[in-house]
């Protein structure tokens, strides 16, 4: 047989598939653009807590550095002292470490470079590319023009180099009031890009900085500081979200005007999720207005809130990998995040039994004052997790929803005269119901078949339902908090006229159940330990306890995977 002719594809090596950002980095390494060096950074502003949207940027920047043998800096863009606090710095550091990323010894702050930024400002003045302006903020907006009308030059644009240097120094020395003067770049007031119309580089702010104190009273604007920080640190790829795309010409202009190291800015689409908001301003309002309990409220999309709710760092990293990186803004279904979460928790969470809406089950023919220990599986997907012992006795608790006196046709759980299996235990048959003076069920009475220990019948008879339970004598009391979406609408910003996103807050986003019982093995769980309550969902131990010292379990996510179900339905079409 003759060998087939080669095609162009036959001559090409099998290359990995990259998203567009990674492809740029790979191409730069191949061509030697940066001497085969890759250096990224994650530059948060310390004016709030990180959220799931930041996780995407974190995983992208640190991930690229790890994949291409490079480095990634953690740098705080602390250029606005009126909104920044050490609390936010500490929380950001904690969140990134929790996600599993390490910046080694490369922790930087924009404030580390304030002296050098000032000197760069003087250099631009000397080059005739910056000037001190006396226009107010409102006048500056008027002079800038609009998207359809060109701007007009400031009357202070023609100041001499010497006068500008003198005024800039006086700004630094605190001789002017807030807003009295600014330092502006001298660009093109007729530019189609409004960002290029003499943007402000420095403004006067007589405010103490969380790191530099009262050393400075002028602070650099983000557009001015951002490129300088990247340049000073030797960054090769400055990865930003799409809203900075129109700012890239200014990023390039500043670096080219100074003739200093010029990284490449690349923009990608930020993460938007259904049923939540990602704006730090809106998240701050939720906290300040007391609409949530704090930044780490388990309903918040903040990483601290998600950690407290029971999210694992592996699940978040897998989610970021799954959604990928693209150039177009879109909104991701929250169900996909929950799907990634379940995939991880299913593999890693030990199983246990808990009853969150209890009713007592009494086994009349079980010996009085006796008990036994039954073997239970810790994790069916992880044989190395082993087994545990669960106590069993005459009186148990089961879920109130697992019993009905007059069940409909498709209700297969416990009912009068019906037999069911108790998980890991025995078959039981309902014989009687005891009610209180209000007519509510107080106790359910049953008989058990001692030959069905372990949950199987030696005579081969079948039951249609298996119920979870806890031993009334040995169980521990706990509080359980059931969390749902924080908002009722997929897009919380869709509000009626005169209302805002807070009108769509979900009144049922938190339900507190105070009369819950857990098997005794859970009493030793520590803060943030994760567990699957069989048949109920995945839960996490809250760092706090109730006033009387009982553990609190936060529901992380239910067992039902709506995303996987939806995907299967689409595949069948």
22-31 pLDDT, tens digit each: 999 999 999 9
What is the number of alpha carbons within 13 Å of residue 59 lying toward its C-beta? 23
Is pLDDT at 10 greater than 50 in this prediction? no
Spatial CB neighbours of 374, under 8 Å, sequence gap ≥ 6: 389, 390, 391, 392, 424, 425, 453, 454
Residue ranges of alpha helices (H) inside 44-127 are 52-67, 86-99, 114-126
Residue ranges of alpha helices (H) inside 145-183 are 161-172
571: left (phi over 0), alpha (psi -120 to 50) or beta: alpha
pLDDT over 90 percentage in the chain = 91
280-350+479-572 has the same fold as 31-268: no
Catalytic residue among 280, 317, 342, 418: 280
The pLDDT tens digits of the residues spanning 403-415 come to 999 999 999 999 9
Catalytic residue among 45, 67, 245, 372: 45
Is pLDDT at 123 greater than 90 in this prediction? yes
Helix (H/G/I), strand (E/B), else coil: 319: helix
Is pLDDT at 9 greater than 50 in this prediction? no
Catalytic residue among 270, 282, 400, 545: 270
| pLDDT value for 524 | 84
Q: Across residues 160-165, what is the average pLDDT?
A: 98
**How far is residue 457 from each of residues 352, 447, 448, 450, 516, measured CA to CA in Å?**
24, 15, 12, 10, 31
pTM of the shown model:
0.92
- Element holding 421 (H helix, E strand): strand 419-422
CB 481 within 8 A of CB 552: yes
Is pLDDT at 565 greater than 80 in this prediction? no
Q: What is the SS3 string spanning 434-485?
A: EECCCCCEEEEEEEEEHHHCCCCCCCCCCCCCEECCEECCCCEEEEEEEECC
**Angle, alpha carbons 372-402-469 (nearest 5°):** 20
Q: Across residues 329-344, what is the average pLDDT?
A: 95
Q: Across residues 424-433, what is the average pLDDT?
A: 97
Which one has a higher pLDDT value, 378 or 573?
A: 378
Q: Which CATH architecture has domain 280-350+479-572?
A: Beta Barrel (2.40)
31-268 belongs to CATH 3.40.50.620: yes
Dihedral of the alpha carbons of 386, 392, 396, 398, in degrees to the nearest 10: 30
Catalytic site includes residue 45: yes
Q: Across residues 370-381, what is the average pLDDT?
A: 94
The mean of the pLDDT values for the chain is 94
Q: 261-270: buried (b, 16+ CB within 10 Å) or exposed (e) per residue?
A: ebbbbbbbbb
Is pLDDT at 43 greater than 50 in this prediction? yes
The pLDDT tens digits of the residues spanning 262-285 come to 999 999 999 999 999 999 999 999
**Percentage helix, strand, coil, to 5, in the chain?**
30, 25, 45
Identify any residues that bridge with 363 across adjacent strands, giving them in sequence order: 446
Is pLDDT at 2 greater than 70 in this prediction? no
384: left (phi over 0), alpha (psi -120 to 50) or beta: alpha
How many Å apart are CA 186 and CA 196, to the nearest integer?
A: 9
User: At 222, phi and psi to the nearest 5?
Assistant: -60, -45
Q: Which superfamily does 354-468 belong to?
A: Ribosomal Protein L25; Chain P (2.40.240.10)
**Domain extent listing, the chain:** 31-268, 280-350+479-572, 354-468
Catalytic site includes residue 280: yes
* Strand 200-204, strand 427-435: pairing: unpaired
CB 42 within 8 A of CB 260: no
- Assign 5 a pLDDT band (cuts: 50, 70, 90): very low
| pLDDT value for 14 | 46
């Amino acid at each position: 047989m003759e060998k087939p002719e080669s095609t162009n594809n036959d001559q090409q090596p099998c290359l990995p598939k990259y998203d567009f950002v990674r492809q740029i980095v790979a191409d730069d390494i191949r061509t030697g653009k940066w001497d085969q060096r890759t250096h990224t950074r994650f530059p948060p502003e310390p004016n709030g807590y990180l959220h799931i949207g930041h996780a995407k940027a974190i995983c992208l920047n640190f991930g690229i550095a790890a994949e291409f043998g490079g480095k990634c800096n953690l740098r705080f863009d602390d250029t606005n002292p009126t909104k920044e606090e050490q609390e936010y710095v500490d929380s950001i550091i904690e969140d990134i470490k929790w996600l599993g990323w390490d910046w080694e010894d490369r922790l930087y702050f924009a404030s580390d470079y304030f002296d050098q930024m000032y000197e760069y400002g003087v250099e631009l003045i000397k080059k005739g590319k910056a000037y001190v302006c006396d226009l107010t903020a409102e006048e500056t907006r008027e002079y800038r023009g609009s998207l359809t009308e060109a701007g007009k030059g400031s009357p202070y644009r023609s100041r001499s180099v010497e006068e500008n240097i003198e005024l800039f120094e006086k700004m630094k020395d605190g001789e002017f009031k807030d807003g009295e003067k600014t330092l502006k770049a001298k660009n093109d007031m007729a530019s189609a890009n409004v960002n290029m119309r003499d943007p402000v580089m420095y403004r006067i702010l007589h405010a103490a900085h969380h790191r530099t104190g009262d050393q400075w009273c002028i602070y650099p604007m983000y557009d001015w500081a951002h490129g300088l920080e990247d340049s000073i640190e030797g960054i090769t790829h400055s990865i930003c979200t799409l809203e900075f795309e129109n700012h890239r010409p200014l990023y390039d202009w500043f670096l080219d005007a100074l003739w200093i190291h010029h990284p490449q800015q690349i923009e990608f689409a930020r993460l938007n999720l259904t049923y939540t908001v990602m704006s730090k301003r809106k998240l701050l309002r939720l906290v300040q207005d007391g609409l949530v309990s704090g930044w780490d409220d388990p309903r918040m999309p903040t990483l601290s809130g998600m950690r407290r709710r029971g999210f694992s760092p592996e699940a978040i990293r897998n989610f970021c990998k799954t959604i990928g990186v693209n150039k177009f803004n879109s909104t991701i279904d929250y169900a996909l995040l929950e799907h990634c979460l379940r995939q991880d928790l299913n593999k890693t969470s030990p199983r246990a039994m808990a009853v969150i809406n209890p009713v007592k089950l009494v086994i009349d023919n079980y010996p009085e004052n006796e008990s036994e220990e039954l073997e239970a599986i810790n994790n069916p997907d992880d044989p190395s997790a082993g087994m545990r012992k669960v106590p069993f006795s005459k009186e148990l608790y089961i879920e109130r929803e697992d019993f009905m006196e007059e069940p409909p046709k498709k209700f297969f759980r416990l009912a009068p005269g019906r037999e069911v299996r108790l998980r890991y235990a025995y078959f039981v048959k309902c014989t009687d119901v005891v009610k209180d003076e209000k007519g509510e069920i107080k106790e359910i009475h049953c008989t058990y078949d001692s030959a069905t220990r372990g949950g199987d019948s030696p005579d081969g008879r079948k039951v249609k339902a298996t119920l979870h339970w806890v031993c009334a004598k040995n169980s521990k009391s706990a509080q359980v908090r059931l969390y749902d979406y924080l908002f009722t609408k997929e897009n919380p910003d869709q509000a009626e006229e005169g209302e805002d996103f807070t009108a769509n807050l979900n009144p049922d986003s938190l339900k507190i159940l105070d009369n819950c019982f857990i098997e005794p093995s859970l009493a030793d769980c520590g803060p943030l330990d994760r567990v699957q309550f069989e048949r109920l969902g995945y839960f996490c131990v809250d760092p706090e306890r109730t006033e009387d010292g009982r553990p609190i379990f936060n529901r992380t996510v239910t067992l039902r995977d709506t995303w996987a179900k939806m995907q299967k339905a689409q595949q069948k079409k």
